[in-house]
Amino acid sequence: MNVFAIFGELRNPTGKRMRAVGFGSLGLSCAVYAVIGIFGYLTFFDEVAGNILLNYNLDDPLVNTGRVAVALVIFFSYPLMAHPCLNSLDSLLFPRKCHLFVF
């Protein structure tokens, strides 16, 4: 749902550039997840849980900081995901000739 906003922000937007941005972001995400998965497996071998944070002690302050950071990322990413959807619905349901805020 963020594709339209990203496409609008590209310099000289074309389909080829949008595909490059999409593949680049997916590739980077896959690489980060793969590194986390590999190091999680190398740390705990066969005893690794589905959520890597569940393998660590509950009283480790560094791991608890990581848990709080994950919770904050999830909490603050919701508005970023909902905004393009609401903006599109607003444009479809209430068309205007002049948009004051174009994102």
Per-residue pLDDT of the chain (103 residues; tens, 9 = 90+): 678 778 888 999 999 999 999 999 999 999 999 998 898 889 888 888 888 888 889 999 999 999 999 999 999 988 888 888 888 788 788 887 655 555 5
Whether residue 35 lies inside any domain: the answer is: yes
Q: Are 44 and 55 in contact (CB under 8 A)?
A: yes
Question: Residue 11 and residue 5: Cα distance in Å, rounded?
Answer: 12
Number of structural domains (the chain) is: 1
Whether residue 99 lies inside any domain: the answer is: no
Res 102: pLDDT: 53
Whether this model's pTM surpasses 0.85:
no
Whether residue 65 lies inside any domain: the answer is: yes
Whether residue 63 lies inside any domain: the answer is: yes
Whether residue 100 lies inside any domain: the answer is: no
Question: Residue 64 and residue 58: Cα distance in Å, rounded?
Answer: 7
Whether residue 50 lies inside any domain: the answer is: yes
Residue span of the structural domain in which 8 resides: 3-93
Of the candidates 84, 99, 92, 89, the one whose C-alpha atom is nearest the C-alpha of residue 3 is: 84
